[in-house]
Amino acid sequence: MQEVVRTNDLVLLGAIEALLQAADIGHMVADSHMSVLEGSIGVFPRRLMVVDEDVDRTRRLLKEAGFGAALRDGG
């Protein structure tokens, strides 16, 4: 799996997850349970990971949907 997005913005993360689910792209959110350690203040970013074979497709999809700036390398 490769990281494609790292963000503290849960709304952005939810929108991207919905897009990936609709496109049937396998993914997972890492670090989503860090709130236990941080006190739920959103300090630690969550990492959106996708399976290796879907990285290019994911990047293309996110750019087309207007989320290119959220990509790990800035789009």
pLDDT at 60 over 80: yes
The neighbour count for residue 57, using CB atoms within 10 Å, is 13
Tokens of 69: 């700036």
Q: What is the pLDDT of residue 11?
A: 92
Domain assignments of the chain as residue spans, ordered by start: 2-70
Q: What's the CATH superfamily of 2-70?
A: UreE, C-terminal domain (3.30.70.790)
Q: What is the pLDDT of residue 39?
A: 57
Give me the phi and psi of 3, to 5 degrees please.
-80, 130
| Residues 4-55: tens digit of each pLDDT | 999 988 899 999 999 999 999 999 998 876 655 555 565 678 999 999 999 9
**Vertex 10, ends 70 and 12: CA angle to 5°?**
35
Q: What is the pLDDT of residue 64?
A: 96
| Residues 64-74: tens digit of each pLDDT | 999 999 998 85
Gyration radius (Cα) of the chain, Å:
12
